[in-house]
Amino acid sequence: MDRAPAPTQTPHVVVVMPAYNAAKTIERTYADIPAGVVSQIILVDDVSQDATVEIAQRLGIDVVVHVQNRGYGGNQKTCYLRALGTAADIVVMLHPDYQYDSRLIPELIRPIREGRADLVLGSRFLDNGTLAGGMPLYKFVSNRLLTLTENFVLRQNLSECHTGFRAYSRRLLETLPFILNSDDFVFDSQIIVQTVAFGFAIAEIAVPTRYFKEASSVNFRRSVVYGLATLNALGEYILDRSNLRPSPRLRKTLPQIISRYHRKKLLRLTSPNDDEPASPYPLSLEL
């Protein structure tokens, strides 16, 4: 896909936070977000059992609370739909558990602002501090092996595919059919596969590694499940590219799979159906 030209004006940057029991870390994460860079912050709470919602509201963050737990991927779906409903030009996904340095947001969005990429990953493997930062050895090894496999299948040269600190251009989110993705952790891997499948460019920046008691972490069993699901996402890509089993997740665009009413409300993309009548029913952006 052709790269977008570099914008001449300051972009509207929206930070989305998929949250679950982040009461102990959200204030530190919020405090480090650079002033004057971010236009809006949206936190989607996935039925936390602590004071995450109350603290976020006190900080002045826009808060969405799920009626029931939707999972990590399900949380992100709500995050991105909410962000598309704003004036966002760039959307930054930031975990509110202080595991990623939010002071690096200006660097994270720079490749998108310059028109060099539509997805930017904050990689913990671009320097030598990954293990020193506390990443467990089994996560280090599995991350490296999975990333090498993804690079081979997707023909990329990424240092890390499994980071929770990411920036997306609006046109990427308006194209990828992310609502067809899993509600589980493999959502992140599916997004990268879709980005490659639709021809968008990916860039990386170096970020420090932070592992500590209060930071959320996937246990060993869930890590195994995640790894197998990532391999399955790569298999889906191989079968689709070889035309053995075409996948809607890798061929249909977001405008093709959402309601025309929501398409008018959420997307800047134009289509012949833009003049269709508005829905007589109230629209909800929460899945």
The DSSP annotation for the chain comes to -PPPPPPSS---EEEEEEESS-TTTHHHHHHTSPTTT-SEEEEEE---SSSHHHHHHHTT-EEEE-SS--HHHHHHHHHHHHHHTTT-SEEEE--TTS-S-GGGHHHHHHHHHTTS-SEEEEESSSSS-TTTTT--HHHHHHHHHHHHHHHHHHT---S-S--S-EEEEHHHHTTS-GGGS-SSTTHHHHHHHHHHHTT--EEEEE------TTS----HHHHHHHHHHHHHHHHHHHHHHTTSS--HHHH--HHHHS-HHHHHHH-----TTTTSPPPSS------
- Ordered structural domains, the chain, with CATH: 13-266 (3.90.550.10)
CB atoms within 10 A of CB 251: 13
**Residues comprising the chain, all counted:** 287
Q: Is the pLDDT of residue 162 over 80?
A: yes
Which region among 55-59, 101-105, 126-130 has the lowest average model confidence (pLDDT)? 126-130
Mean pLDDT for 161-171 is: 96
pLDDT at 54: 98
Q: Mean pLDDT across the stretch 261-277?
A: 70
Residue-by-residue DSSP string for 143-154: HHHHHHHHHHHH
Burial pattern 164-174, b for ≥16 Cβ within 10 A else e, equals bbbbbbbbbbb
Rounded Cα distance between 220 and 218, Å, is 7
d(CA 157, CA 66): 37
Q: How far apart are CA 233 and CA 242, in angstroms?
A: 14
User: Is the pLDDT reported for residue 157 higher than 60?
Assistant: yes
Asked if the model's pLDDT at residue 269 lies above 90, the reply is no
Residue closest to 222 by CA, chosen among 286, 136, 152: 136
Q: What is the pLDDT of residues 181-200, one digit of tens each?
A: 999 999 999 999 999 999 99
Give 34's pLDDT tier (boundaries 50, 70, 90). very high
Contact 203, 111 (CB under 8 A): yes
Span 264-279, average pLDDT: 62
- Residue 101 φ/ψ, nearest 5 degrees: -85, 105
Check pLDDT > 60 for residue 275. Answer: no
Find the distance separating the first CA and the last CA of the chain, reported in whole Å. 29
Q: What mean pLDDT do residues 127-134 have?
A: 72
Q: Residue 153 has which token pair? A: 């299948």
Q: Average pLDDT in the 103-126 region? A: 96
Inform me whether the pLDDT recorded for 250 exceeds 80.
yes
For residue 279, what pLDDT is reported? 38
Average pLDDT over residues 195-207: 97
Cβ-defined contacts of 261-264 (< 8 Å, 24+): none
Q: What is the pLDDT of residue 221?
A: 83
59-63, 130-134, 139-143: the lowest-pLDDT one: 130-134
